[in-house]
Chains A and B, each alone.
Chain A
Amino acid sequence: MTEEIIIAGFGGQGVLSMGKIMAYSAMMQDMEVSWMPSYGPEMRGGTANVNVILSDERISSPILRSFDTAIILNQQSMDKFEKSVKPGGTLIYDGNGITRHPERKDITIYRIDAAEEASKLKMQKMFNMFVLGGFMKVKPILKTDYVLKGLKKSLPERYHNLIPKNEEAIKRGMELINKV
Chain B
Amino acid sequence: MAEITFNDIIKPENLAYKRSKLMTDNVMHYCPGCGHGTAHQVLAEVLEEENLQERTVGITPVGCSVLMYNYIDVDFQEAAHGRAPALATAVKRLMPEKFVFTYQGDGDLAAIGTAETIHTCNRGENILIIFINNGIYGMTGGQMAPTTLPGMKSSTSPYGRDVSMMGSPIKMADIVAMLPGTCYVTRHSVNTAGGVRKFKRALKKAVQYQNENRGTCFIEVVSNCPSGWKMTPVESNKWLEENMFPYYPLGDIKVPAE
Complex: A in contact with B (CB within 8 Å): no
- Which residues of A are in contact with B by a Cβ distance under 8 Å? none
